[in-house]
Structure 1
Amino acid sequence: MGNVKELKKNTNHFGELTERMHNFREKLLNAKPRVCVERAKLTTESYREHADKPMILRRALCLENILKNMSIFIEPETLIAGNQASSNRSAPIFPEYAMDWVIDELDEFEKRDGDIFYITEESKKTLREIAPFWHHKTLKDRGLAGMPAESKLFYDLGIIKAEGNITSGDAHLAVNYEKVLKLGLINYRERTEKKLKELDLTDYRNLNKSYFYRAILIVLDAVAAFAKRYSDLASESAERESDSSRKAELLEMSRILNKVPYYPAESFKEALQSLWMIHLILQIESNGHSLSYGRMDQYLYPFYKRDLEFGKITEAAATELLTNLWLKTFTINKIRSWSHTRFSAGSPLYQNVTVGGQTVDKKDAVNPLSYLILKSVAQTKLPQPNLTVRYHRGLSDDFMKECIEVVRLGFGMPAFNSDEAIIPSFIEKGVTEEDAYNYSAIGCVEVAVPGKWGYRCTGMSFLNFPKSLLIALNNGVDPESGTKLCEGVGHFRNMTSFDEVMKAWDKIIREFTRHSVIIDNCADTAIEEVTADVLCSALTDDCIERGLNLKEGGAVYDFISDLQVGIANLGDSLASIKKCVFEDKKFTPEQLWNALTNNFQGEEGKRIQDILINDAPKYGNDEDYVDLLLRKAYDIYIDEISKYKNTRFGRGPIGGVYYAGTSSISANVPQGAGTLATPDGRKAGEPLAEGCSPSHGMDQNGPTAVFKSVSKLPTHEITGGVLLNQKVTPQILSKEENRQKLILLIRTFFNRLEGFHVQYNVVSKDTLIDAQNHPEEYRDLIVRVAGYSAFFNVLSKQTQDDIIERTEQAL
């Protein structure tokens, strides 16, 4: 119970939720996550009716049908209107992306080990009735059909995991919310009409542009009509309302929704309603997660400042509105297949909010709204939104102290991303200086320029590094299935030097990287053909100007990354092989290989495992021996991935290329489950190390040593995110001197070591074990899983165990 008590004690620093927001929060936490079939029915209905239309128009008409006919409601506590599904915390089904897993798992949703969803028999019947229509028509069908057999082998064996890319929408971006708030959708309509009118349709190349522009006009009108539905509902609710205060609120809500987001926002409250309506509809349009708010403290501050100056709002009222927005953000939910769920444990939506950083003229960007966002997120204490602070050398101690006070609350926020590493990395890759200084966090730790970046700045396929190493040592054959994947350089049993090991790794990882790009291309091509997002494209520069949606190359920038899983295991494995086999000769390559294939069973296996764990340097302890080996191995992957282009290359955007990324979310658990024993001493089936964090218990020299090890990675080339999780106990941060130490430690990591990212779990191992045994006493316990937070109780036991075993650092 220690973490819960500590959480309650620290809350006073930021104050408490207002009574109405507290009640709203309680309702949401007590709401069962259900499966909603409304969107599935309306989508199927629209696709049937408009089967003859070009796909982009089908997508627009589908969204129009959903927004026109879905259930809407206004909660009695809320000041902001808009719902994603027929009830809060319910997850819609998106049949155009995939239906096979939905039907296969209908009777299993409530029986899951984690991320449970409830579904009625009537809803099951509805889904089974519409499923035949989608046979061979979904994104997943198209994506899998497009994969060459030799590449699909990697997908089927779980070496390269890309399921989320062909069963979900893309997202992983922030649209240009600042422009929407300032200009309103009417501006987008006027620009689109002008571009459509200018098209010369005798040039066949302009036909697709005309469809795109017509689709935008349909969607913009649908958004306005959707807001009008809520305006009318608020007005009707006001007529029935007996409480004069609530009646006035509903009438004001009706007025605002009759205006935004179609027209520009003119007040803080109007801006928040406009922001939420757009963010919500983007979630309804596509089930792509990591749809983020961008630099909210920058684009909302002018509205807040003006309202304060004219006495239209108080700090308390603005705080309540922000907490209301966070509660609405938490209402969004997403159901994934069980295999995909294990890569995203805790049903995360990764809706990131970024504060701090620098202005485009290189000044400290922190303003009063930055503090207010910290305060409101602290009061709400939910897994959503995912709060990120942009750190830079000029960030004040006062703001850092406030950030640490939020960290103390123990719900894994905020994460810190560093301007000192990220901005130069962007500029090196061709991003203009002005745009680089305006980047925001997207989803977990990935970064992009809001409103100008294409999909999946991070989040393409997952590549299992330790499994790749085992295949390299096995002459290109997967040792678990016996499948020959490619030609190797020989078997480990016959190798006589560590150089041969590195040659094997070099050959295999380059070949596997090539196949990961092929799989990515198949997914992206299928998405472009089958599930283009009209509204999301319209609100991203320069799609309207170019007449291209995001998958066709409409964004200003389009850099992406795959995700590499098991970084630490790779480094530790290579160090163990080099030292224990080829230098100290404590056992032969054949003895080690036999121990791996036997999962370290028997006396001999246990002896070898102990040597691997105890007698070789481990990543995370500032030992060049292993850290530089890992860098050398990682550099090979980076060299290879940099050769490839995505499907938008040469079609308009700056970039169109790849870089590396370690934001592996919870993939370390399922990918570990499918990986045999590894040369670092890890047994078969155990989780891999997550992100770029050290393996559990292997980092024994304190947090400074961890930072130094991480800093030796080629950070500027891992622009997709260098995700570092750390864990400390609440007792440590209860002391002022330790909080100051933590601030100094973070400053050193970012200022001197060019660290990219760090985030903290503030919870003791004893608390987590107790929560596992007595979940009913820990309903509000939130933990940092990877680049996101989740309620501990909704996680599978395997993921809970992985978090429990993380190293507790001292300061």
Structure 2
Amino acid sequence: MVMTKEMPKKTIGKFGTLTPKMNRYREEILNAEPYVDPERAVLTTEAYKKYQDQQVDIIRARVLEHILHNMTIFIEQDTLLVGNQAQHNRWAPVFPEYSMNWVIDELDTFDKRSGDVFYITDEAKDELRKIAPFWQHNTLEDRGYAAFPEKSKLFYDLGVIGADGNITSGDGHIAVNYETVIKYGLVAYEKRIKDEMEKLDLTDIDNQKKLYFYQAGLIVIKATRDFAERYSKLARKQAAQTTDEKRRTELLEIARIMHKIPYQPADNFYEAIQAVWLIHLVLQIESNGHSVSYGRLDQYLDPFYEKDLATGQITSEKATELLTNLCMKTLTINKVRSWAHTEFSAGSPLYQNITIGGQTPDGKDAVNDMSYLILNAIVQSHLPQPNLTVRYHHGLSNHFMDQCVAVIKEGLGMPAFNNDEVIIPSFIARGIKKEDAYNYSAIGCVETAVPGKWGYRCTGMSFINFPRTLLIVMNGGKDPESGKQLLPNYGHFTEMTSYEELFTAWDKSLREMTRQSVIIENTCDLALEQNYPDILCSVLTKDCISRGKTIKEGGAVYDFISGLQVGIANLADSLVSIKKLVFDEQKITKQELWNALRDNFKSEGQEELRQMLINDAPKYGNDIDEVDQLIVDAYQPYIDEISKYKNTRYGRGPIGGKRYAGTSSISANVGQGHSTLATPDGRYARTPLSEGCSPAHSMDTDGPTAVFKSVSKLNTKAITGGVLLNQKMSPQLLASSDNCDKLVMLLRIFFNRLHGYHVQYNVVDRKTLVDAQKHPDKHRDLIVRVAGYSAFFVGLSKETQDDIIERTEQSI
């Protein structure tokens, strides 16, 4: 019987509920405690010892092969999709090839953290300590740190430029071409590699290097096929043992699918989504780089769904169940970071982004039934992962916008919105082909790239602390806390005679800071390229096979990257306070301000001065041209300077090979706030900085429209790495349908008229957040938007929780 096509999008705000099976599976995952898992570390060490005489590409391929052949696998009772990253769900593997020093140093403190707590058994500690000597001076961190030029190392050591994540883990920040994998299977990649191998003239050393990559590619393809076959055999074994006939049927279907995919093409929706999950999983077993994203899931899954629906093989309910299963599987992946890195990524995020909506290459609305089903699945699952991004464009229907706002009301911090009207022209202007620009997706937080054609870290390179940089400039180029001379001395603030003199010093100093960030980033990239290529990820990224190169060697079609600039609002508010209160009105002397900053506003009379800084100077986020122009001007030296520098892949194949700006600072505002003394906006020392391009807490007093106007004045077309804007509203506000309509109108104005880049919403009231701090057991499912990602509130450190509580709660 052929079923009639169902339209799940008919009713706004109706998302359905989890099936009993998925409800049980969700509870199982939520009840899983996060442990540090030593298994991958042990297997990796075994492989490195066995194959250490091989070429680096072969070593990396053999490592993945050894892991996939020998790691623990299991199939949970209530899952329909199979594949696990560690010995148990939510356990976090250790990746010793990237870093072991911090692992050993923190073994006894994982469970004592103020947030992002991990447990670890004594047996696991013993296993990790046993293998640690092999990795001494033999990790990415060791090699990367040793390679930093001495002057640049000083910036890194003092935390002025943060790059901890770049030398303690893999790259990530990528979406491979899942569409090609599910349509043609890994067998197609295998054939392409073999065809290229036959063309090689090995008297050319470059061709000999290609040979190693191709050999490695064949190894990882077979290893992935073998990995899938292990699940097929396990499913058959469990089917033979179960007395539950329904589960037996499910297991036999799993066995059939895993015997086929991802090596062979998928022929139906179930096979396609399982293939997507397995590839996604193996990429994160290969490397612990986060922000591995799904790309435009609705676009490449919908054809399979529509075909199955037309032939009666599936219903919308069954497809949604599989999508919820995918969401839950996504949450099972976990990552343990050093505490220093954790402060930049609070909430154990993996930033695994799904993108829906947007346009087709001919400019038509790309929303389809799968777009709506994914919204349903996100709400039903009610989890902080995967991330969900909606690509906005002016032709997006009111119906779909209404449904997106209805999802926002659920309090997931999702979906975030990225604006086609800004991003696509920005991409095309940078040399990206029109059809590729129209196919972009969100990667990780708010960053964007073309799935399957873009290299690593379109955003996610080093972090520059803007407010701390200002303090260094004011102190004659010397770090006020350490006393180290970092930048040229353009005069001490107390001796400057005008704001223009300070700004000139800022301009020159920021350019030097930018140069140092490039040196640090290049060093990290060089260490990764030379020692830790990701073979499977490269195979699945065009044109690595054609060029015979890994991504880091220049294999991707496009390769643009960006660092992250932290504390934009603090910089804006600091500059206007100095200009207005010190130089223009002379209400505060230069020495008084400098003394107050050094004393953290604790000496006599300095609290009154702090209140003057807060209350007597206008603030960013209120559509005040004077303030907004100051930050636009102060940001521009970075934008201009960073555009001068090529990345390590420039001229080696990819289009681009350049850098641009980005404000997706994740939770670095908290971590970098720890190392920043008091600032001229009245902020106390060691407290969080502002996040993204959002206004400082409670400083945006004129409503969301004013915030949108201020943010839109930034040079968004040049900040291609993402202009992250967090907004917060109470659930009570969106309880009114009229207010929901107003929010849709507000979003359209922001994107259509003001050319905003991005926005996302926390819909939770202060009372709930405060109660969750006091009674975490009552709020296990409370989800908040931290930065460009969501997290369970109760798993965050109190400092990060407080940062979220203090954000301005907007009205409409």
Q: In structure 1, give the amino acid aligned to 2:359.
A: Q
Tell me whether 1:174 sits opposite 2:175 in the alignment: yes
d(CA) in 2 for partners of 1:534, 1:670: 33
Contact 2:170–2:289 at 8 Å: present in 1 too? yes
d(CA) in 2 for partners of 1:211, 1:374: 43
The aligned counterpart of 2:360 is 359
- Superposed counterparts of 1:480-629, under 5 Å: 480-629=481-630
Contact 1:429–1:655 at 8 Å: present in 2 too? yes
Please state whether the residue corresponding to 1:560 is helix, strand or coil: strand
- Once the two structures are TM-superposed, the CA of residue 222 in structure 1 deviates from its matched residue by 0.4
Deviations 1:565-612 (A, max 9, x none): 000011111111000011111021111111111111233211211111
Please state whether the residue corresponding to 2:144 is helix, strand or coil: helix
Tell me whether 1:241 sits opposite 2:242 in the alignment: yes
The aligned counterpart of 2:467 is 466
The aligned counterpart of 1:679 is 680
d(CA) in 1 for partners of 2:139, 2:604: 52
The aligned counterpart of 1:638 is 639
d(CA) in 2 for partners of 1:707, 1:114: 32
Q: In structure 2, give the amino acid aligned to 1:605.
A: Q
The aligned counterpart of 1:777 is 778
Deviations 1:135-166 (A, max 9, x none): 11100001001001100000000100000000
Q: In structure 1, give the amino acid aligned to 2:246.
A: S
Please state whether the residue corresponding to 2:605 is helix, strand or coil: helix
d(CA) in 1 for partners of 2:556, 2:583: 50
Contact 1:172–1:290 at 8 Å: present in 2 too? yes
- Once the two structures are TM-superposed, the CA of residue 14 in structure 1 deviates from its matched residue by 1.1
The aligned counterpart of 1:765 is 766
d(CA) in 1 for partners of 2:197, 2:134: 33
Deviations 1:199-243 (A, max 9, x none): 100111211110000000000000000000000000111111111
- Once the two structures are TM-superposed, the CA of residue 12 in structure 1 deviates from its matched residue by 7.7
CA RMSD of aligned residues (A): 0.9
Please state whether the residue corresponding to 1:88 is helix, strand or coil: coil
Please state whether the residue corresponding to 1:617 is helix, strand or coil: coil
Q: In structure 2, give the amino acid aligned to 1:519.
A: I
- Once the two structures are TM-superposed, the CA of residue 486 in structure 1 deviates from its matched residue by 2.3
- Once the two structures are TM-superposed, the CA of residue 330 in structure 1 deviates from its matched residue by 0.6
Please state whether the residue corresponding to 2:418 is helix, strand or coil: strand
- Once the two structures are TM-superposed, the CA of residue 452 in structure 1 deviates from its matched residue by 0.3
Moved runs in structure 1, 4+ residues, more than 4 A? none
Contact 2:64–2:286 at 8 Å: present in 1 too? yes
Contact 2:473–2:487 at 8 Å: present in 1 too? no
d(CA) in 1 for partners of 2:356, 2:485: 49
The aligned counterpart of 1:5 is none
608-617 or 726-735, which moves further after superposition? 608-617
The aligned counterpart of 1:797 is 798
Residues 1:164 and 1:11: Cα distance change in structure 2 (over 3 Å): farther
Q: In structure 1, give the amino acid aligned to 2:806.
A: E
d(CA) in 2 for partners of 1:693, 1:355: 24
d(CA) in 2 for partners of 1:430, 1:768: 45
Contact 1:192–1:544 at 8 Å: present in 2 too? yes
d(CA) in 2 for partners of 1:25, 1:226: 25
Deviations 1:737-763 (A, max 9, x none): 000000000000000000000000000
- Superposed counterparts of 1:208-223, under 5 Å: 208-223=209-224
The aligned counterpart of 2:69 is 68
Please state whether the residue corresponding to 1:181 is helix, strand or coil: helix
- Superposed counterparts of 1:372-451, under 5 Å: 372-451=373-452
Q: In structure 2, give the amino acid aligned to 1:687.
A: P
d(CA) in 2 for partners of 1:547, 1:214: 10
d(CA) in 2 for partners of 1:547, 1:707: 46
Contact 1:181–1:275 at 8 Å: present in 2 too? yes
The aligned counterpart of 2:104 is 103
The aligned counterpart of 1:3 is none
The aligned counterpart of 2:6 is none
The aligned counterpart of 2:50 is 49
- Superposed counterparts of 1:653-802, under 5 Å: 653-802=654-803
d(CA) in 2 for partners of 1:82, 1:244: 22
d(CA) in 2 for partners of 1:314, 1:486: 63
d(CA) in 1 for partners of 2:636, 2:186: 45
Q: In structure 2, give the amino acid aligned to 1:425.
A: S
Deviations 1:73-105 (A, max 9, x none): 000101111000000000000000000000000
Tell me whether 1:261 sits opposite 2:262 in the alignment: yes
d(CA) in 1 for partners of 2:165, 2:600: 31
- Once the two structures are TM-superposed, the CA of residue 779 in structure 1 deviates from its matched residue by 0.5
Deviations 1:755-793 (A, max 9, x none): 000000000011101110111110100100000000001
d(CA) in 2 for partners of 1:514, 1:480: 22
d(CA) in 2 for partners of 1:77, 1:486: 59
The aligned counterpart of 2:116 is 115
Q: In structure 2, give the amino acid aligned to 1:793.
A: V
d(CA) in 1 for partners of 2:445, 2:210: 33
Q: In structure 2, give the amino acid aligned to 1:751.
A: N
Residue correspondences, number = 802
Q: In structure 2, give the amino acid aligned to 1:187.
A: A
Q: In structure 1, give the amino acid aligned to 2:694.
A: S
d(CA) in 2 for partners of 1:547, 1:180: 19
Please state whether the residue corresponding to 1:570 is helix, strand or coil: helix
Tell me whether 1:294 sits opposite 2:295 in the alignment: yes
- Once the two structures are TM-superposed, the CA of residue 11 in structure 1 deviates from its matched residue by 12
Please state whether the residue corresponding to 1:103 is helix, strand or coil: helix
d(CA) in 1 for partners of 2:12, 2:332: 23
The aligned counterpart of 1:453 is 454
The aligned counterpart of 2:226 is 225
Specify every segment of 5 or more residues in structure 1 that has no aligned partner in the other structure, as ranges.
1-9
Contact 1:488–1:507 at 8 Å: present in 2 too? no
Deviations 1:780-809 (A, max 9, x none): 001000000000011000000000000000
d(CA) in 2 for partners of 1:347, 1:201: 46
d(CA) in 2 for partners of 1:430, 1:331: 38
Please state whether the residue corresponding to 1:489 is helix, strand or coil: coil
d(CA) in 1 for partners of 2:492, 2:143: 37
Q: In structure 2, give the amino acid aligned to 1:371.
A: Y
Please state whether the residue corresponding to 1:656 is helix, strand or coil: strand
Q: In structure 2, give the amino acid aligned to 1:808.
A: E
d(CA) in 2 for partners of 1:776, 1:214: 51
- Once the two structures are TM-superposed, the CA of residue 507 in structure 1 deviates from its matched residue by 1.4
Contact 2:13–2:407 at 8 Å: present in 1 too? no
d(CA) in 2 for partners of 1:587, 1:464: 25
Contact 1:297–1:373 at 8 Å: present in 2 too? yes
d(CA) in 1 for partners of 2:673, 2:126: 36
Contact 2:327–2:385 at 8 Å: present in 1 too? yes
d(CA) in 2 for partners of 1:418, 1:680: 31
- Once the two structures are TM-superposed, the CA of residue 428 in structure 1 deviates from its matched residue by 1.0
Contact 1:11–1:378 at 8 Å: present in 2 too? no
Specify every segment of 5 or more residues in structure 2 that has no aligned partner in the other structure, as ranges.
1-10
d(CA) in 2 for partners of 1:351, 1:559: 20
d(CA) in 2 for partners of 1:746, 1:294: 23
The aligned counterpart of 2:165 is 164
- Once the two structures are TM-superposed, the CA of residue 488 in structure 1 deviates from its matched residue by 2.1
d(CA) in 2 for partners of 1:90, 1:599: 41
Please state whether the residue corresponding to 1:730 is helix, strand or coil: coil
d(CA) in 2 for partners of 1:258, 1:668: 47
Q: In structure 1, give the amino acid aligned to 2:375.
A: L
Contact 1:350–1:385 at 8 Å: present in 2 too? yes
Contact 2:387–2:444 at 8 Å: present in 1 too? yes
The aligned counterpart of 2:478 is 477
Deviations 1:314-366 (A, max 9, x none): 01000101001111111000000001001000000000000000001110000
Contact 2:185–2:262 at 8 Å: present in 1 too? yes
Please give the TM-score of this superposition, normalised by the length of structure 1. Answer: 0.98
d(CA) in 2 for partners of 1:455, 1:429: 17
